[in-house]
Amino acid sequence: MKLMSRKSVFISLFIFSFLFFVYWTFPYEVIKESVTSEISRSTGMNVFIKSLGPNFPFGIEANGVQLESGVAGVAAELQAVDVNVSVPWLALGQLKLIVSVEGPKGKGTLDLATRLSLLSMVSGKPLMPSMIMFEADEFPLDNFVKFLLAYVSTGPGANPMIAPLLAKIGFTGKLNANIDLDLDVGEPTQSNGTLEIKFSDASLILSDPSLALPDQKFSKALIRARLDSGTLAFDDASGLTAEELDFGLQGRVTLRPVLPSSMLDLKLPIKLSGGLQSSFGFILGAISGGASNGSELTYGIRGTLGEVQANPI
């Protein structure tokens, strides 16, 4: 019996050592080229990764990540992205991913942890994470928002009426967030948690000479919600407030066992004044079909996550 036990230990140690050797010596440069090529092909973005390699004990680290939208001089950069897998959770049939992101030039951090059922992944069932934890600490958003606006204004399906305006708008600010959601995949009514997202030192940059508008510094930039018994209800204080802009977020999202079937009941009240109304009020009027005078509009988002219905109300 002792001999068999020793053999089992040696065999297990050999298998573990072999797998670890393969993991540590794997040709990650080949994966890097494949990943960047596939992302670039499917999104239309240009993706570059300076180096890709193993991250102890069981993870992958990407350094010098850069995304280009296709617009000259518009890019988003990350110092490093680390993705790790929790081995103990694998033994329990759960894939726990831990992602850490270091901002450009080492400024600001993002940390995400989530768990997914291996059984659901193998069986092809709709995936719903059983846990989401996300923290952001003074993560700079300037280049990322600029990158997204450039991508939206030039990418597939860009609205020709709004695209020229998006290309002239900028944003500066830092992201701070704390999200802790405990999700019950089988019984969503048992799901609970909290969500708070803040933007500090945030401003909407409108200094393009053709706009002739002052920048809008936000006195409030907050999204706060509580998940209780499967319903994510947004706090009435959620929204963005600047000198000539007021954007709210109200309502709730009710979770369902199949995540795309989760029900939406949200309202987005928008109010413009001063120069913003003069320059952008026509967009509100166009969206509302002429029902808005260009200063106020409430947009309703209903339906399900899989089939969103958005209309002015």
DSSP structure class, residue 45? -
What would the pLDDT profile of 26-81 be if each residue is shown by its tens digit? 666 777 777 788 777 777 777 888 887 777 667 778 888 887 766 656 778 888 88
More confident residue, 23 or 210: 210
Better-predicted residue by pLDDT, 168 or 132: 132
The rounded distance, in Å, linking the Cα atoms of 59 and 84 is 4
Tokens of 34: 């494949």
257 pLDDT band, cuts 50/70/90, is confident
Residue 88 preceded by cis peptide, ω within 30: no
Nearest 5°: the CA angle 146, 78, 114 is 105
172 pLDDT band, cuts 50/70/90, is very high
pLDDT at 186: 78
Q: Where are the alpha helices (DSSP H) in 26-181?
A: 28-43, 87-91, 118-123, 142-154, 163-166
Question: How far apart, in whole angstroms, are the C-alpha atoms of residue 69 and residue 166?
Answer: 14
Which structure tokens are listed for 95?
Answer: 């894939």
For residue 37, the tally of other CB atoms under 10 A from its CB is: 11
Task: Give 288's DSSP letter.
Answer: T
Residues 83-130 have pLDDT tens digits of 887 777 776 778 888 889 998 888 899 999 998 887 776 676 667 788
β-strands 46-55, 308-312: how paired?
unpaired
Q: Give dist(CA 65, CA 99) in Å, integer.
A: 14
- Supply 223's token pair: 């999204």
Give the amino acid at 159: N
- Residues 112, 77: Cα–Cα separation, whole Å: 18
Amino acid occupying residue 103: G
Q: Tell me the pLDDT band of 274, cut-offs 50, 70 and 90.
A: confident
Instruction: Identify which has the larger pLDDT, 176 or 26.
Output: 176
Q: Please provide the size of the chain in residues.
A: 313
pLDDT confidence bin for 290, thresholds 50/70/90: low
**Cα–Cα dist 292/106, whole Å:** 45
Side chain identity at residue 129, one-letter code: P
Cα 157 from chain centre: 21
What pLDDT, in 10s, does the model give residues 295-304? Answer: 888 889 999 9
- Say if residues 107 and 140 touch (Cβ distance below 8 Å): yes
Are 287 and 312 in contact by the 8 Å Cβ rule? The answer is yes
Q: Report d(CA 210, CA 189) in Å as an integer.
A: 51
